Amino acid sequence: MQLVKEYAHLKEEDLLGRIHRAKEELGDSLIILGHHYQRNEVIQFADFCGDSLDLARRAAEQKKARHIVVCGVRFMAETAAVVCGEEQVVLTPNLKAGCPLADFAQLDDVKQAWEELQEADVGSLVPVAYVNSAVVIKAFCAQNGGISCTSANAKVIVGWGLKQGKVFFMPDENLGINAARECGLSQDKVVLWEPGKTLGGNEIEELRRAEMIVWRGHCYVHSSFAFADVERVRVKDPKAKVIVHPECPPAVVEAADGSASTSQILRIVEEAPPGTSFAVGTEVNVVERLNSEYPDKEVFPLKRSVCEDMAKIDPPGLLHILESLVAGTPVNVVHLSPEVRKWGALPISRMLYVKARR
């Protein structure tokens, strides 16, 4: 703790200089993976920058680096820890950088829901754990024949699940409902599961009729976008294309010109002709970075929305772990039991084999 305080008080130039030196010293034994939502001060040190699907893939491909530092929230570090080799070590600059969306699905509640659904005899269930969930939830899914998905492949994975049975989707209701709609499911075939309520607050017949059961949970960053924000842009800047992340509420996704995962948003902007303007509904760091990377296009936030949890990763935290690696006494290592590692990897590797991206 003392050590972290010391890092927090370093002057910016010292901090950045020491991060560069530590990186250099660690050479090929280190790879830093950064999520697009990270601020520029952190992302400048990432060897690879991507969305959650890209980071999972990149971690799984790592052969050389013994140490994988994940500049992202806890579930991203856990995902890297289950897909990388046993001899590799995953670290995070801040163990307290969690994801409130992931926290909506607690293992005890999920187990309870699963038991109730089995007893109610609602039909054959296929659990789908959005990657924004704890590794123990993914492990539970795997033990029950399930799979993971990210925002980049939710439609494909939900579509796959619907062919096997009734999809039990956790923990993001917006992504679940948006994916169901993309798969052509009518609203009456989708029911919400409220944790803590008997049968999730549903009648047995509703659950039997449903083709998809969606856990109630949301991301505060994306659920802050409203239909009125899209309407405002349509009036103020009618030429702007509105692109939103699929964690946004269904009314926002329907009103937008398109919905796309973070990397897909990047691609859409990159491929657009000069002069195009975009109102983007996702975390503001991505939007501002895109605007400065493409001066011939205009990219502005649909509304300013910040992920305070991603912001818990900062240069002092990064320096702390890099210097701990140089000293041979790594801190903030993501530890998982062999059992959780084995099961937690399964739904991710199933997902990675699905050809989900364009």
Chain residues binding ligand SF4 by CB under 6 A are 73, 99-101, 132, 219, 221, 283, 307, 309-310
Binding site partner of 43, from ligand 13P, ligand SF4, none, Cβ cut-off 5-8 A by kind: none
Nearest partner of 151 among 270, 241, 286, 41, judged by Cα: 286
CA 51 to mean position of chain CA atoms: 7
Using CB distances below 5 to 8 A depending on partner kind, what does residue 51 bind out of ligand SF4, ligand 13P, none? ligand 13P
Q: Which is nearer to ligand SF4, 247 or 323 (CB)?
A: 247
Strand pairing of 190-193 and 212-215? Answer: parallel
Tell me the closest approach of the beta carbon of residue 340 to ligand 13P, in angstroms.
21
* Distance separating alpha carbons of residues 249 and 108, to the nearest angstrom: 27
For ligand SF4, give the closer residue by CB, 109 or 247: 247
Q: Which is nearer to ligand SF4, 309 or 323 (CB)?
A: 309
Of 23 and 289, which has the nearer Cβ to ligand SF4?
Answer: 289
Q: Report d(CA 247, CA 178) in Å as an integer.
A: 8
Nearest to residue 357, comparing CAs of 156, 201, 164?
156
Of 91 and 101, which CB lies nearer to ligand SF4 in the complex structure?
101
Which residues form the interface with ligand 13P (CB under 6 A)?
A: 51-53, 132, 150-152, 219, 247, 261-262
* C-alpha distances out from residue 340 to 134, 172, 327, 337, 346, Å: 11, 22, 29, 5, 10
Cβ closest to ligand 13P, residue 174 vs residue 202: 174
CB of 243 to ligand 13P, least distance (A): 12
Shortest distance in whole angstroms from residue 37 CB to ligand SF4? 6
Least distance in Å: CB of 168 to ligand 13P? 20
> CA 30, CA 46: separation in Å to the nearest integer?
11
Query: How near is the Cβ of 328 to ligand 13P at its closest, in Å?
Result: 33
- In the complex, the smallest distance separating the C-beta of residue 51 from ligand 13P, rounded to whole angstroms, is 3
Helix (H, G, I), strand (E, B) or coil at 316: helix
| DSSP letters spanning 113-157 | HHHHHHHTT---EEEEEESSS-HHHHHHHHHTT-EEE-TTTHHHH
Selection from ligand SF4, ligand 13P, none that 262 binds (CB < 5 to 8 A by kind) is ligand 13P
